[in-house]
């Protein structure tokens, strides 16, 4: 079957967006109860993780500047569990990729992996916490709040999880993940109670992003209200997140996967595939994708190909870009292994797509539902085959832009992704 012609479909629903990040961050910190807990001269650890947050460098710098303004001495501490290969060098490199460095922020950046046991939770499990954070006079975090890729609960990706697993370092991350999704959904809040009781954690800046990968809401959540307030912010994030607006897709083409797009590499909340051992796929999961293709691993992932197994088919190029050390460390710590089984690879993008078309269970070209997206974070613009375009025309939140075009390939048989998605992370990277 030939690759179908595609038309650009754009999601046009209006969503709230913060235009002045630095000013809003400053205002949130300076008018928070959390800052009122600090005394002049206090050493305040600011936990930063490994996620690709929109305007991360601006938010981090504004946080540091606001803390300096009240007379404390902030420093950055890596709060990303076992990411970066669970090494100080790897975590420092990840932070540097987001311009979170001593040179950029003007304060020390500490990435040592030392942790200490501070207690035992209600499950009888030890509670671990970052040694640098324990030595500080107070600890805050910069945390994006969003649906988690592995489970549904009151506390998913956000302040509580960063406090428990991010600052728990490798030991804390491994301890919770070895229980599978129950360790995240059920044990995580029990560990959080111990940390709130035994440490100088003061609060966190919660960040919500909209479907266009723009900051939609910023809120400093104080330690005393954390467990009550964060679930409401999570529900708000559910309503904002980008989604694929179609129920059924024969072939889904993903230009890049990677940790900067989702902790799972490919966001299960977007593609409708949980793929978790011993857990059934939910009937309510949408879209239902028959054949999924992933073409590249983002350079921001530093070789960590976590989640590649959510796709059915890929390229030899992507498989070759996976670095075994970080890849194995992250997945063996996370204990979600199905998602990172290696799919079948092909020498070129065209051959990979051809294999998807041949195996998608729909040999009728005129009814083929083919969708191409740059990654699972940026889904505001999509290239769609005719059956999906006709569905889009009936949706007031979608706009069909221009005519149909053939998918652009270079002379080696690979998709010109920068041409297809000029406004994506990859498109901006190529332009720079």
Q: What percentage of the chain reaches a pLDDT higher than 70?
A: 99
Is 421 within 8 Å of 6 (Cβ atoms)?
A: no
292, two tokens: 């999924």
Q: Report the pLDDT value the prediction gives residue 283, as an integer from 0 to 100.
A: 66
In 3-state terms, what secondary structure has residue 301?
helix
User: Taking the CA of residue 316 as centre, how many other CA atoms within 13 Å lie in the half-sphere pointing to its CB?
Assistant: 5
Chain centroid to CA 276: how far?
Answer: 18
Q: What is the Cα Rg of the chain in Å?
A: 22
Helix axes 21-30, 56-69, angle to 10 degrees: 40
Q: What is the pLDDT at residue 432?
A: 66
Give the confidence band of 367 by pLDDT, cuts at 50, 70, 90: very high
Query: 189-200 burial, b for 16+ CB within 10 Å, e for fewer?
Result: bebbebbeeebb
Contact 162, 49 (CB under 8 A): yes
Cα–Cα distance for residue pair 353/320, rounded to 1 Å: 18
Residues 281-308 have a mean pLDDT of: 90
Q: What is the mean pLDDT of residues 397-402?
A: 94
Query: Residue 30 pLDDT > 70, yes or no?
Result: yes
| Domain spans of the chain, in order of start | 21-240, 242-431
pLDDT for res 218: 97
Q: Is 429 left (phi over 0), alpha (psi -120 to 50) or beta?
A: alpha
Q: CA angle, 39 as apex, 38 and 45 as ends, to 5°?
A: 50
DSSP per-residue string spanning 312-368? SEEEHHHHHH--HHHHHHHHHHHT--GGGSPPEEESSHHHHHHHHHHTSS---GGG-
In the CATH hierarchy, which fold is given to the domain comprising 21-240? Rossmann fold (3.40.50)
The pair of three-digit structure tokens given for residue 107, joined into one six-digit string: 């304060």
Residues 6+ apart with CB under 8 A from 228: none
- Whether the pLDDT of residue 52 is over 80: the answer is no
Residue 359: how many CB atoms within 10 A of its CB? 13
Stretch among 218-232, 323-337, 376-390, 395-409 having the lowest mean pLDDT: 323-337
Compute how many other C-beta atoms are within 10 angstroms of the C-beta atom of residue 235: 12
Quick: pLDDT tens for 217-273.
999 999 999 999 999 999 999 888 888 999 999 999 999 999 888 888 999 989 999
User: Once rounded to an integer, what is the mean pLDDT over residues 18-39?
Assistant: 97
Distance CA 270, CA 290 (A): 14
Digit-coded pLDDT (tens) for 133-164 = 999 999 999 999 988 877 778 888 899 999 99
How many Å apart are CA 3 and CA 245, to the nearest integer?
Answer: 21
- β-bridge partners, 296: 256
Q: Taking residues 384-388, what's their average pLDDT?
A: 98
The CA distance from 343 to 335, in Å, is 19
pLDDT, the chain, mean? 93
Average pLDDT of the segment spanning 45-65: 93
Note the pLDDT tens digit of each residue in 150-206.
Answer: 777 888 889 999 999 999 998 988 888 888 878 888 999 999 999 999 999 999 999
Residue 362: what pLDDT? 97
Residue 50 predicted with pLDDT over 90: no
**Helix or strand or coil: residue 209?**
strand
Average pLDDT, integer, range 426-432: 83
Q: Where are the alpha helices (DSSP H) in 70-161?
A: 88-97, 102-105, 131-134, 159-161
Contacts of 330 (CB under 8 A, 6+ apart): 82, 83, 304, 306
If one compares 182 and 282, the residue with the highest pLDDT of the two is 182
CA atoms within 13 A of residue 96's CA, in its CB half-sphere: 13
Give residue 282's pLDDT. 67
Which of the two residues, 187 and 51, has the higher pLDDT score? 187
């Amino acid at each position: 079957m030939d690759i179908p012609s595609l038309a650009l479909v754009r999601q046009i629903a209006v969503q709230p967006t913060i235009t002045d990040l630095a000013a809003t961050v400053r205002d949130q910190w300076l008018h928070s109860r959390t800052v009122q807990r600090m005394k002049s001269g206090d050493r305040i650890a600011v936990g930063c993780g490994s996620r690709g947050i929109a305007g991360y460098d601006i938010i981090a710098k504004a946080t540091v500047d606001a803390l300096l303004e009240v007379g404390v001495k902030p420093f950055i501490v890596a709060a990303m569990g076992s990411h970066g290969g669970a090494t100080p060098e790897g975590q420092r490199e990840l932070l540097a990729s987001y311009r979170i460095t001593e040179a950029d922020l003007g304060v020390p950046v500490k990435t040592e992996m030392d942790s200490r046991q501070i207690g035992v939770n209600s499950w009888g499990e030890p509670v671990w916490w970052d040694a640098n954070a324990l030595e500080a006079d107070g600890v805050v975090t910069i945390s994006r709040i969003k649906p988690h890729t592995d489970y549904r609960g009151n506390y998913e990706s956000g302040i509580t999880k960063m406090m428990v697993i991010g600052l728990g370092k490798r030991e804390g991350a491994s301890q919770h993940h070895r229980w599978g999704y129950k360790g995240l959904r059920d044990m995580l809040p029990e560990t959080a109670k111990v940390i709130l009781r035994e440490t100088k954690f003061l609060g966190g800046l919660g960040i919500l992003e909209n479907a266009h990968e723009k900051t939609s809401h910023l809120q400093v959540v104080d330690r005393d209200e954390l467990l009550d307030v964060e679930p409401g912010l999570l529900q708000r994030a559910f309503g904002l997140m980008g989604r694929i607006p179609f129920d059924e897709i024969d072939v889904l083409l993903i230009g890049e996967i990677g940790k900067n797009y989702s902790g799972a590499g490919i966001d299960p909340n977007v593609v409708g595939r949980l793929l978790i051992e011993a857990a059934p796929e939910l009937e309510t999961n949408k879209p239902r994708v028959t054949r999924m293709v992933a073409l590249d691993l983002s350079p921001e992932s530093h070789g960590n190909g976590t989640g590649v197994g959510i796709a059915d088919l890929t390229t030899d190029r992507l498989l070759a870009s996976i670095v075994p050390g970080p890849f194995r460390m992250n997945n063996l710590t996370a204990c979600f292994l199905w998602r990172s089984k290696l799919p079948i690879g092909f020498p070129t993008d065209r051959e990979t797509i051809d294999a998807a078309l041949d195996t998608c269970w729909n040999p009728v070209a005129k009814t083929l539902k083919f969708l191409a997206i740059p990654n699972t974070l940026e889904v505001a613009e999509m290239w769609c085959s005719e059956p999906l375009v006709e569905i889009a025309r009936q949706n007031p939140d979608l706009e069909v832009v221009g005519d149909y075009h053939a998918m652009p390939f270079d002379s080696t048989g690979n998709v010109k992704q920068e041409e297809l998605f000029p406004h994506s992370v990859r498109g901006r990277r190529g332009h720079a």
